[in-house]
Structure 1
Amino acid sequence: MAADTNESASQYKIIVIPVDDDGCRFYLEQYRPFRLASLQQDPQAFGSTYEREIAFDEETWLGRIKNPLAKTFVAVRTHSNQIVASTSLIGPLPNATVSSNPYQVITAAPGEGDTKDTNSNSDSDDSANKAPVYFQMSAVYTLPTARGCGLAKALIKAATGEACDRAHSQRRPLALSVVVYPDNAAAISVYERCGFARNPEEEPELVVNEVKKTSEWTVNMYYSGEP
């Protein structure tokens, strides 16, 4: 379904949900119903289920927004503050592991897993000789009523911009990835237009989803910055 004809991209704004009292309240009041509605609307698009997450208590929900390695980007209607699209940026990750559920690979506190001293006063500015900063973006989702306004692209650009800034501040190269389903041509096309590409040497991987008790083929796409 296309976006309402009386709405355009200018009627939405992209924000990062802050980790403060107001942000936590917004997360519970706006993001939680958005997430649950998304799981009901398109269950095949997620690695989790509505039945699982509807049972979460507030502490579990707030644990997500308070995760120091995660930033939640959302598109909201400017007149109502209703969330209509979102994505999350996870990192810096402790290693180069790419997962269909990036939260599962967060095994270290911020800064752990770094192999270089980012506070070094080295005279060299050659970031190619330094260890990459690893990030993973979780899949973008837009409610059907808000599709067609470029919100997915705007969210991806906001998240990649944040990852680039983090890597640049440490004078290190960026390694940013996202997991997609190989039969989701629309999603692959959006990521390609935002500077992501598949590694031709990587084949699709059959991944077991422990939550759904199913197996699904996935592929990794990597940000190159050159759409």
Structure 2
Amino acid sequence: MVADSSDTAEWRIETVSADEEGCLFYLDHYKPFRLMALQQDPDGCPLAKTFAAGQSRDKTVLSATSLLGPLPDSQPASNPSQVIAEMSEGDDRHDCQDAAPMCFQMASVYTRSEARGRGLAKRLVKVAMDDAVKQAQERGRALSLSFVVYATNTAAIAFYESCGFVASAEGPTDSFNPLKNSTSGELNMFFRAAS
């Protein structure tokens, strides 16, 4: 988990891994920091909005997704971190007032296995889509909303199609994100509003 450390340093850079140690670090240390940062400067991270469906009685999260945007354009859809880095370098195309559509990308919808089949994920996607539509309408702009799935994940593709997304005409593409599964192509899916 330690990406950079020194015996004499008073700090170190941590990579939050997906194992138990990383999860504990996230919950015990990073999450309180992130909440403090958002309370002090909510505009500091405007590109990601997380939506979660939770149980009413104890707030146990059952399903969640994130909406990233507005982004500079609909590509590269598989690497929002690159888009965010480009924007931090002074590229303000993401909020220009021209005729270009406002671009958003939804990050994976995850639902606990015991909560599947109840329609939570579909309602969560709808709330996130409505948020993106509202932001675009408030600025008088068209909307480009995308999702990226592994081309072999037929269940996910069918789910997103049922939510109003259609597969890109270009078909599956290679991911340039080294952290993703390189053996499976990715499929860009775009939201199409009912006419």
User: Which fold has the larger relative contact order, with Cα–Cα distance below 8 Å and residues 6 or more apart in sequence?
Assistant: 1
TM-score bucket of the superposed structures, by smaller chain: 0.7 to 0.9
Correspondence for 1:9: none
Q: Unaligned 5+ residue runs, structure 1?
A: 1-35, 37-47, 119-129
Q: How much has 1:83 moved relative to structure 2? A: 0.3
Q: How much has 1:222 moved relative to structure 2? A: 0.2
Question: Taking structure 2 as the reference length, what is the TM-score of the superposition?
Answer: 0.74
What's the CA shift string for 1:89-131, capped at 9, x where partnerless?
000012222333423421325992147437xxxxxxxxxxx11
Q: How much has 1:209 moved relative to structure 2? A: 4.2
What's the CA shift string for 1:193-212, capped at 9, x where partnerless?
11110122x12112144336
- In structure 2, relative to structure 1, the CA distance for the partners of 1:75 and 1:101 (3 Å cut) is farther
Give runs of aligned pairs for residues 54-203 of structure 1, distance below 5 A.
Answer: 54=23, 55-56=25-26, 58-59=29-30, 62-63=33-34, 66=38, 67-107=45-85, 108=87, 112-114=92-94, 116-117=96-97, 130-200=99-169, 202-203=170-171
Q: Unaligned 5+ residue runs, structure 2?
A: 1-15, 39-44
Q: How much has 1:141 moved relative to structure 2? A: 0.5
Report percent identity of matched pairs: 38
8 Å CA contact retained: 1:69, 1:91: yes
Count of matched residue positions in the alignment of Structure 1 and Structure 2: 169
What RMSD, in angstroms, separates the aligned Cα atoms of the two structures?
A: 3.0
What's the CA shift string for 1:35-66, capped at 9, x where partnerless?
x9xxxxxxxxxxx7336843547347754994
Q: Secondary structure at the match of 2:93?
A: coil
> Which stretch of structure 1 is more off in the superposition, 90-99 or 48-57?
48-57
Correspondence for 1:29: none
